[in-house]
Amino acid sequence: MRSTRKVSVWPVAFVGGLRYESPKVNAAGKVYGWKTVFDPHRPFAIDMAGFAINLRLILFKPQAYFKLRGVKGGYQESSLLRELVTLNDLEPKAANCTK
């Protein structure tokens, strides 16, 4: 995770009733969606264990925080990530999320 410039993402095992959940990554190495069962149309349909944020980004955007109140269950990750990055900014790890 040391190489994370903004937000890195990777697959996570045993989440949401699946063997694993994962970002979908195109041939150009960009995230375009999510392999998940629970509401795959969330802005960032990812589990907390599936991403890392560069501390400099958090310090640069102090308004961004993990919202617990007023956010539908399963959308907490999206509430934080949408304040920090766009889908295009995500940095796939684990061999473009294949491992």
Q: Is the pLDDT of residue 16 over 80?
A: no
Q: Which tens digit of pLDDT belongs to each residue from 68-97?
A: 888 888 899 999 999 999 999 999 999 999
Instruction: Round to whole Å and give the CA distance between 10 and 70.
Output: 27
Helix and strand numbers, DSSP H then E, in the chain: 3, 6
pLDDT at 18: 80
Contacts of 15 (CB under 8 A, 6+ apart): 21, 36, 47, 49, 50
Tokens 């937000």 — which residue? 7
Positions marked active-site: 77
Bridge partners of 22, per DSSP, are 35
What Rg, from alpha-carbon coordinates, does the chain have?
13
Any domain includes 82: yes
pLDDT at 44: 96
Local structure of 14: helix, strand or coil: coil
Range of the structural domain that residue 61 is part of:
7-97
Instruction: Round to whole Å and give the CA distance between 45 and 88.
Output: 14
pLDDT band at 13 (very low <50, low <70, confident <90, very high): very high
Number of domains in the chain: 1
Instruction: Round to whole Å and give the CA distance between 73 and 87.
Output: 21
CATH number of the domain that residue 27 is part of: 3.90.550.10
